[in-house]
Amino acid sequence: MQVTTFQVEALRLVERLWAELERREGDNLVSFVVFGSVARGEAAPGSDVDLLLVFRALPTSRAERFRIFYDAREALRQKTKDGGLEAAGHPFDWSPVILTMEEARYHSPLYLDLVEDARLLLDRGGFFVQVLDGLRARMRELGSRRVRLPGGSWYWDLKPDWKPGEVIEL
């Protein structure tokens, strides 16, 4: 796979955002995880940047949680005078998922692709690695597999021997 200029620039901005969040939040920032097309090396103009951010403590208000992210993003914009991707005609969106450690322990369906594609830039004490390892173990028990379709998309067959009425818990 050929790495594009967009992919390189997206990763550069992700690393700068990580540094800015770590500077602002210190040890409160536990895990900084990149997933989606940027993590898979498939980012192209129009891609968003998917992030999972895990903190020790967060406000309960969703707006206040996102303020932590947006303030760091704005500080990054102020420091990046060259304009980066947007100046090159490639606008993109950040798509952060912001959780506490307690919330992140829950095996969310969001994590299915992360078991294969996540890039952990920061993971204090191996916290999120443990979460993903637990999910991987459960998926092995179930016989889960990612099924690729023509055109590059996929779906997860969580339990190939599933029977009607059976409940699948991750």
Task: Please state the domain extents for the chain.
Answer: 5-140
In angstroms, the CA 84 to CA 8 distance is 11
Kindly state the tokens that stand for 145: 């597999």
Please check whether residue 115 is in contact with residue 139, taking contact to mean a CB–CB distance below 8 angstroms. yes
Query: Measuring CA to CA, which residue among 33, 1, 15 is closest to residue 117?
Result: 33
In angstroms, the CA 81 to CA 1 distance is 30
What is this structure's pTM?
Answer: 0.89
**pLDDT per residue rounded down to tens, the chain (170 residues):** 456 777 788 888 899 999 999 999 999 999 999 999 889 888 777 788 899 999 999 999 999 999 999 999 888 877 665 455 455 555 668 899 999 999 999 999 999 999 999 999 999 999 999 999 999 999 999 999 999 999 889 999 999 999 999 999 98
Instruction: Identify the architecture of domain 5-140 in CATH.
Output: 2-Layer Sandwich (3.30)
Q: What pairing do the DSSP bridges indicate for beta strands 145-148 and 94-100?
A: unpaired
